[in-house]
Structure 1
Amino acid sequence: MRAIKYGWLFCLSLLPFSAVTQNVMTSSPYSMFGVGEIMAGLHGANAGMGGVAIGMRGKMLINTDNPAGLAGLDTCRLFAEASAFAKWESYRSKGDDNQAFTGNFSRFAMAGRIMPRWYMAVGLTPYSSVGYYFQSTQELEGSPGSYYTSSFSGDGGLSKVYFSNAFQLLPALSVGVNLGYIFGNMTQTEAQSTMSVSQKLSGQSFSADFGVQYSRRLSRELNLTLGAVYGLPQTIRMQKTRTLVDNSTSSTTNMKRVSQQLPRYIGGGASVEYKKMTYAFDYLFRQYGSLTSADSRVTFHDSHELRAGVCYFPDGYGSSSIWKRMDYKAGVGLSSPYYMQVRGQSGLSWRVSAGLGFPLMNGRLHTSFFYDRVDLDGKMLKRGITGFTVTYTLSELFYKVKL
């Protein structure tokens, strides 16, 4: 238990750092709308497989996207996991270009079997992120030839603490539930010369989502897993504070509370394990149309997302070469239509990824590279993201007791 103890204490020591630096998780100018940019695909052992999760389970897979998958964990081990990412973002909108490098920790989790047929996980992960800075130059009204420059910036976002449970109802059937607490702060500032106006939103909400999996071995070398998930819609209410700074004077005003309806979602997935190969497929519907924007030019609409992934795992013995003890992954994802409309223009979002996993100390290290692309119609937005994720899953054997 010593490795888990110190590994988990190390993860907890990084939580304040993660909260403080949350503003560097994105540099998208469109994160100023709604609750920010929804964070996805930046953690987990399956990031290299396109993020497939609904029909996935494994002896070392902490699957909280479908909590029922936790029932596939090794019953004699306790697991701790930490994930981080780095990405290079490039944006082009109406001829203007912007590039930025961002990165941060993306998940901390701990999981294991509590008692026969009951598995549990706890963790922290970002839910959404705000991070942008840009300037706009406009002509001064009533003074032709005179211009003024305004700068717009924002940071912060929402985080999610979750408590996951899975129950093995039958040898082939498991169900699960995630209970979460979403919280965070977002700050948006507009500055002109010696004057600036800042708005701070602080909110919190509870969340709940559910999952089910049916997993059956059809033959000695063939296993099929089917899964489904459902997330309840939640309302997050946020306190809005406005601060006006003019020269050396400052005044703060508490404004009317605002609320956002966090999206409901439903999805299904399957995975097939045949010999040394795993094939997986997910479909996910998210009701982003429930989000609202203060800017009439930007609206949100529902999203349909498809993911597919493949993994080759030679599964060599401990004495085998490192190449036979690694797993090789690849995946693709497509979201149509993109969940945000700008001036009535929508578009496509797609991702390709590849990754490796290999044994390290008392666990496994999973790495993945990905390229994420968004194209809105009418040249409203073209976004390309090249990124890297790393996830380390540490396991500890229960030597003296088996729950």
Structure 2
Amino acid sequence: MKVIDKIHFLIVSICLLYTTGISSQNMTTSPYSMFGIGELTDGQYGQHAAMGGVSVGMRDPILINSVNPAGLTGLDSLRLVADATAFVKNEWYSSRGTQTSATSGNLSSFSMGGRIMPRWYMSAGVYPYSTVGYYFRTKESVEGTDGSYYYSTFEGSGGLSTASLSNAILLNRHLSLGVTLSYVFGNITQTETQESMTVAQKMYTNAFNARFGLQYTKQLANDLGVTVGLTFGYKQKLVLDNTTTVQTSSASTERSRKSLTQYIPPFVGVGASVTHKRITYGADYTFRKYSTLVSTDNRVTFRDIHEVKAGISYLPATYQSESYWRRVSYKAGVSLSNPYLSVSGKDGFSWRVSAGLGFPVSNGRIHTALFYDNTQLTGNTLRSSALGLSVSYTLSELFYKVKL
């Protein structure tokens, strides 16, 4: 296939992905997704979700690295790789004695990539960035009365997604440089209902953003390889166009309000992976400056995130002549961080454990990840947990024919 045809193929692919409407809706049921730009999605999709989400220093012949674009140069140079991920999870929340639970799930990401020409690799994909999804009711007494109450219902949906185009250059045998250009888009709808009146606020935003990556890889011995990586992104302003609709039993009024300003926070991440024989070890550290986000509730503030991830993968054999179960990969991982939300000045701690299997199938693999999340703020302000399953299907098709 000619170079120009390959570029057209990937660009058309990302346009098709955009029009399919893959979004971050129905990916959470957290009442705390009502703040800021929603609940941030990270480590919930992809081949290494079972390894705690490690990615900065990872590379593989069938891995489309959405976190560090420099890792694309590790793709099989003769094949086109496509990857799709879906998940389902059940979440539990408790705050000051009130408890709720709900189940959510969705197709969370789709991407494809491969080599364009010698040393040049490209991928296109749609990924979730944040998600909003909540529904709860409150009961308040009517002032000046005895035994009279009114109820308020709060509901929210939507979120932000990114349509991304990544390019990576293999500078030499060991060093790779990559850049991801992303179109961030989405809408958030928040509704409050009291008796016969409903106030609905719909916010829409779009912006362009970029992230950059670097990887250095070296084979130290026949059965020992090391890769180190670096990735970073800058602060990007988001202007949210804001429309409010007020509906009563007798009339409906729509009006545009002053636009809101939020930000995609800057970040920097470092990571490394070591492959020894059939075992791969990986670890990441990421800093995200989420304190740049603006809170509209004086009880809620945003905190900078420090996150550490570590994971391990074991693949007994790769040859087709081996038994099926010896070609299954076994993965496990853990991630630790502080929550990006602080409620009434209360900070806390978040952790995730995960494990999964990678099953070989015709022209690809199916990766599964069972994960458990837990976040707790001090003072019984908030406690949340989630148990979920992520499934990623990776297809690897021959893209080039070798001439003998």
Q: TM-score range by the shorter chain?
A: over 0.9
CA shift, 1:401, in A, is 5.7
Q: What is the one-letter code of the residue matched to 1:138? A: E
Maintained 8 Å contact 2:134/2:156: yes
In the alignment, structure 1 residue 379 sits paired with structure 2 residue 380: yes
How far apart in 1 are the matches of 2:400 and 2:382? 55
Counterpart contact for 1:35–1:157, Cα < 8 Å: yes
Number of equivalences: 394
- For residue 142 of structure 1, report the CA deviation from its aligned partner: 2.9
How far residue 316 of structure 1 moved from its aligned partner, in angstroms, is 3.6
**1:68-107 equivalent positions in 2, closer than 5 A:** 68-107=70-109
C-alpha deviation, 1:400, in angstroms: 3.2
Residues in 1 aligned to 2:187 and 2:400: alpha-carbon distance in whole angstroms: 43
Question: Does 2:19 match 1:18?
Answer: no
Give, in angstroms, the shift of residue 398 of structure 1: 2.9
Equivalent-residue separation in structure 1 for 2:273 and 2:112 (angstroms): 24
**Which residue pairs with 2:247 in the alignment?**
245
Spell out the pairing of 1:280-359 with structure 2 (5 A cutoff): 280-335=282-337, 337-359=338-360
* Structure 1 unaligned regions, length at least 5: none
Task: Determine helix, strand or coil for the equivalent of 1:378.
Answer: helix
Superposed CA deviations along residues 148-180 of structure 1, whole A, max 9, x for unmatched, are 111111101111000001100011000100100
Q: Sequence identity of aligned pairs in percent?
A: 51
SS in 2 for 1:24: coil
Task: Please say if residues 18 and 163 of structure 2, whose CA atoms lie closer than 8 Å, have aligned partners that are also in contact.
Answer: no
d(CA) in 1 for partners of 2:363 and 2:19? 23
By how many angstroms is 1:147 displaced? 1.1
CA distance in 1, matches of 2:301, 2:332: 33
Which among 103, 108, 113 is matched to residue 110 of structure 2? Answer: 108
After TM superposition, the structure 1 = structure 2 runs for residues 179-194 of structure 1, keeping only pairs within 5 Å, are 179-194=181-196
Distance 1:15 1:325 in 2: 37
Q: Which structure 2 segments of 5+ residues have no match?
A: 2-8
Superposition deviation, residue 23 in structure 1? 2.8
1:273 alignment partner, SS class? strand
Q: Which amino acid aligns with 2:42?
A: A
Aligned counterparts of 1:233 and 1:363: Cα–Cα separation in 2: 37
Question: Partners in 2 of 1:316 and 1:230 — Cα distance?
Answer: 34
1:213–1:17: structure 2 CA closer, same or farther, 3 Å change rule?
closer
SS at match of 2:213: strand
- Note the C-alpha offset of 1:58: 0.6
Post-superposition Cα deviations, 1:23-60, rounded to whole Å, max 9, x if no partner, equal 31100000000000011112111111000000100111
2:367 alignment partner in structure 1:
366
CA separation in 2, counterparts of 1:220 and 1:79? 26
The structure 1 segments of at least 4 consecutive aligned residues displaced by more than 2 Å after TM superposition are 11-19, 141-145, 398-402
Equivalent pair of 2:363/2:397 in contact (CA under 8 Å): yes
C-alpha distance in structure 2 between counterparts of 1:401 and 1:179, whole Å: 32
From 271, 289, 304, the counterpart of 1:269? 271
Q: In 1, distance between residues paired with 2:260 and 2:123? A: 32
In 1, the alpha carbon distance for the partners of 2:325 and 2:352 equals 27
- Find the counterpart in structure 1 of residue 6 from structure 2: none
Give the letter aligned to residue 343 of structure 1. S
State the Cα distance separating 1:240 from its structure 2 match. Answer: 0.5
Residue 29 to residue 356, structure 1, CA distance change in 2 (3 Å): same
Any idea what the Cα deviations from partners look like across 1:160-207, whole Å, max 9, x if unmatched? 000001100011000100100101110111101111111110111111
Q: In structure 2, the residue corresponding to 1:213 is in which secondary structure?
A: strand
Per-residue deviation at 1:315? 2.1
- Return closer, same or farther for 1:71/1:399 CA change in 2, 3 Å cut-off: closer
Alignment partners' CA distance in 1, 2:101 and 2:117: 50
Q: Tell me the residue number matched to 1:64.
A: 66
Alpha-carbon distance between aligned partners in 2 of 1:320 and 1:18, rounded to the nearest angstrom: 38
How much has 1:76 moved relative to structure 2?
A: 0.5
Aligned with residue 232 of structure 1, among 231, 234, 239:
234
Partner of 2:177: 175
Kept in 1: contact 2:311–2:332 (CA 8 A)? yes
Given that 2:17 and 2:125 are in contact with CA atoms closer than 8 Å, whether structure 1 keeps it comes out as no
CA contact (8 A) 1:42 1:84 kept: no
Q: Is the 1:351–1:371 contact (alpha carbons within 8 Å) kept by the matching residues of 2?
A: yes
Query: TM-score if structure 1 supplies the norm length?
Result: 0.95
Q: Deviations over 1:268-288 (max 9, x none)?
A: 001000011111110000001
Instruction: State the secondary structure of the residue aligned to 1:227.
Output: strand
Q: Secondary structure at the residue paired with 1:69?
A: helix
Match of 2:137 among 112, 135, 143: 135
Q: Offset at 1:314?
A: 1.1
Rounded to whole Å, the distance in 2 between the matches of 1:136 and 1:52 is 40
Query: What one-letter code is carried by the residue in structure 2 that aligns with 1:117?
Result: R
* Structure 2 Cα separation of the partners of residues 376 and 42 of structure 1: 22
**Native 8 Å contact 2:22 2:126 kept in 1:** no
Superposed displacement of residue 15, structure 1 = 5.9
C-alpha displacement at 1:17, in angstroms? 5.7
2 CA distance for matches of 1:203 and 1:217?
45
Helix, strand or coil for the counterpart of 2:275? strand
Give the secondary-structure state (helix, strand or coil) at the position aligned to 1:55: coil
Q: Offset at 1:267?
A: 1.0
For 1:191-202, list aligned pairs within 5 A: 191-202=193-204
**What TM-score do the two structures reach when normalised by structure 2?**
0.94
Shift of 1:291: 0.7
| Cα distance in structure 2, aligned partners of 1:12 and 1:80 | 14
Q: Match of 1:49?
A: 51
What one-letter code is carried by the residue in structure 2 that aligns with 1:384?
Answer: S
Distance 1:239 1:316, change over 3 A: closer
Q: Deviation of residue 111 (structure 1)?
A: 0.3
